[in-house]
Structure 1
Amino acid sequence: MSKKGKKVWERVYNERTSYLMLLPNIIMFAVFTVYPILWALRYMLFDYRGYGEAKFVGMDNFVRVFTRDPVFWDSVVNTFVYVGGKLILTLPIAFMLAFLLSKSTRINAVSQSIIFTPTIMSSAVMALIFYLLFNTYNGEINRFLMWLGVIDENINWLGVQHAMLTVIILAVWGGVGNYMVYFIAGLTGISTDVYESAKLDGANGAQTLFRITIPLLAPVLKMILMLALVISFMDMQSIMVLTEGGPMGKTNVMFLYIYQLFFPISAGSTVTQEFGYGAAVSLVAACIIGLITGLYLFIGSKLDKVTGE
């Protein structure tokens, strides 16, 4: 064995405790991440429905994605609508809550805990709660709006016209607490000396917010936006429970459609079980998310150069 090889083995032996502690995570990663990816890469070139013999079809699955599957591209449009609506509402609300509750007081701590609670709840439980709240005939939302005199008749919140709005509201309710915590961490990292200097210079609240707080929070905001973007594109659990992608596919997002190709979620589903085609669609969806993420990072790097960060 060469000297370089001996040094490597000596290093592994000396750090064997660390490697043994990492071994369970490595095994789990290999079994539940690496193996499924390799499995999908294999079957995306086959017509395979989970039983019988897999029939090699070459690139036909990808041709079908781009030319013969309008349902998938409708789900892509739905995904962008969902992600856009969620981010436009969630991040400003989370920032405002963080700005108001960032001071370390008892009432702020209690408020933070209450707002953060939906984040640790199961997606299925949240969806069931929203189903009861937004039920057309006996939901509390319709009752409350009628009591206020805002509406004269019940609104079908889970119908074609309002279903996407309902799932976006659910996403905001479930995610705003998480991003609030991130914003609070960023706000507490800003030195109080900066605010004291601004106060001595005569800066008012609005000037302090827009010229000091937000610029200094930019690195944290960039990280939060990146995280929110990726997570939002992969959302599907709560939508699956609340609407199953309906009605008429109005809330069917990319990863829910992929899930349906592998595991049709209801007996009346129009999507049939197709493992091979589902693997091909998964790769296309991953490329779309990768493209959006890469574009975001590119724009972010350009803005950093312009601002001199």
Structure 2
Amino acid sequence: MSAIRKKWKEYSGPYLMILPCVVLLALFSIYPLAWAFKYMFYDFDGFTEATFIGFDNFVRLFTRDAQFWNSVWNTLVYAGGKLIVTLPLSLILAVILNQKIFARNSLRAIFFMPTIISAAVISLVFYLMFNSYNGIINNTLISLGIIQQPIEWLGVKYSMLTAIIVAIWGAVGNYMVLFLAGLQGIPKDLYESASLDGATKIQQFFKITIPMLGPVMQIIVMLAIVNTLKGYESIMVLTAGGPASKTEVMYLYIYKLFFPVSEGEPVVQQYGYGAAAGFVAAMIVGAITCLYLYLSRKSNNEY
């Protein structure tokens, strides 16, 4: 008994400290996943008794639900447009703000500020700014004589572009900070030696900064891919997936299956079908992430 008491005194502290995290993880992560995995094989609306239907939800998803696959395409367009601008811009800002320039810390805080603001608040502000008739964007462009008629930024033609612009604004500061952390881990001696050898700043960037940032950049890009493919909160507030489902991404479509919006018709939750769609969406995100990791590791091995 004395040995048990001794071990309890030795190990009880750490286990008791992580116990709340384990309980919260089980309640809000593991249990919902198990619940969704069960009901994706059921016809279940949350009110009536669930009916086991086997793989019918998946058959419907792959053969009769064109709207879901349209949302997958929209997700890829949205993610591609966001990442192709956000990551290079974040890296450039990180390199600039890693230098000894005036008000460096203040500029870092300014660029990081959008990250700590709620996505709903950001989207609401941009919704007012991009409003077709009362928005500051159109009013400014008209007053400068750049355009004659208001542009429907949230219309069919430009809604996806607007959503991407908002996403870029909200994400640049986050990845900038991550790149800064990686840059500060690069030894200064490498740059000093390169300068003595006559290397320009551009040559140092491509020959020292990029290679030394390789492992960190791989993680940052992976996180950016996953977060972008899963993101929908900003679009939900900005356009609600419209108009005509032009900006409806995967997880916004799944959200609407669980929490449908009433438009004069009876609201019907589709928990079982939503769980199946969520599982397929998770597999798509996982497949894209694994493909990226495979290609990036293969590229690193070649060098």
The answer to whether the superposition gives a TM-score over 0.5 is yes
**1:54 aligned to 43, 46, 50, which one?**
50
Match of 2:28 in 1: 32
CA distance in 2, matches of 1:293, 1:172: 20
1:103 to partner: Cα distance? 2.7
CA distance in 1, matches of 2:4, 2:232: 44
The question of whether the paired residues in 1 share the 8 Å contact of 2:44 and 2:270 is answered with: yes
1:272 and 1:72, CA in 2 relative to 1: closer, same or farther beyond 3 A?
farther
Q: Which amino acid aligns with 1:242?
A: L
1:31 and 1:251, CA in 2 relative to 1: closer, same or farther beyond 3 A?
same
Match of 2:140 in 1: 144
1:275 and 1:212, CA in 2 relative to 1: closer, same or farther beyond 3 A?
same
1:266 and 1:115, CA in 2 relative to 1: closer, same or farther beyond 3 A?
farther
Alignment of 1:174-189 (within 5 A): 174-189=170-185
Determine whether 1:154 maps to 2:147. no
Q: How many residues align?
A: 301
1:298 to partner: Cα distance? 1.1
CA distance in 2, matches of 1:184, 1:57: 51
Match of 1:192 in 2: 188
1:268 to partner: Cα distance? 5.4
**CA shift digits 1:48-94 (9 cap, x unpaired):** 01111111111100000100100100000000000000100111111
The question of whether the paired residues in 2 share the 8 Å contact of 1:261 and 1:271 is answered with: no
Determine whether 1:116 maps to 2:112. yes
Match of 1:4 in 2: none
Q: Which runs of 5+ in 2 are unaligned?
A: none
1:267 to partner: Cα distance? 3.4
CA distance in 2, matches of 1:138, 1:183: 38
1:232 and 1:12, CA in 2 relative to 1: closer, same or farther beyond 3 A?
farther
1:96 to partner: Cα distance? 1.1
Q: Which moved more, 1:59-68 or 1:293-302?
A: 293-302
Q: Which moved more, 1:261-270 or 1:294-303?
A: 261-270
**2:92 aligned to 84, 91, 96, which one?**
96
Match of 1:85 in 2: 81
Match of 2:220 in 1: 224
The question of whether the paired residues in 2 share the 8 Å contact of 1:260 and 1:271 is answered with: no
CA distance in 2, matches of 1:164, 1:271: 27
Match of 1:3 in 2: none
The question of whether the paired residues in 2 share the 8 Å contact of 1:164 and 1:250 is answered with: yes
Q: Which moved more, 1:127-136 or 1:95-104?
A: 95-104
**CA shift digits 1:207-253 (9 cap, x unpaired):** 11111111111111111100000000110111111111100000100
Q: Which amino acid aligns with 2:72?
A: V
Q: Which amino acid aligns with 2:60?
A: R
Match of 1:246 in 2: 242
Determine whether 1:305 maps to 2:301. yes
CA distance in 1, matches of 2:135, 2:26: 45
Match of 2:209 in 1: 213
1:145 to partner: Cα distance? 1.7
Cα root mean square deviation, aligned: 1.8
1:282 to partner: Cα distance? 0.6
The question of whether the paired residues in 2 share the 8 Å contact of 1:261 and 1:278 is answered with: yes
Match of 2:281 in 1: 285
1:185 to partner: Cα distance? 0.9
Match of 2:251 in 1: 255
Determine whether 1:233 maps to 2:194. no
3-state SS of the aligned residue for 1:15? helix
Determine whether 1:64 maps to 2:60. yes
3-state SS of the aligned residue for 1:202? coil
The question of whether the paired residues in 1 share the 8 Å contact of 2:261 and 2:267 is answered with: no
Q: Which amino acid aligns with 2:292?
A: Y
1:8 and 1:188, CA in 2 relative to 1: closer, same or farther beyond 3 A?
farther
1:14 to partner: Cα distance? 2.4
The question of whether the paired residues in 1 share the 8 Å contact of 2:85 and 2:168 is answered with: yes
> Percent of pairs identical after alignment?
53
Determine whether 1:168 maps to 2:164. yes
CA distance in 2, matches of 1:235, 1:13: 44
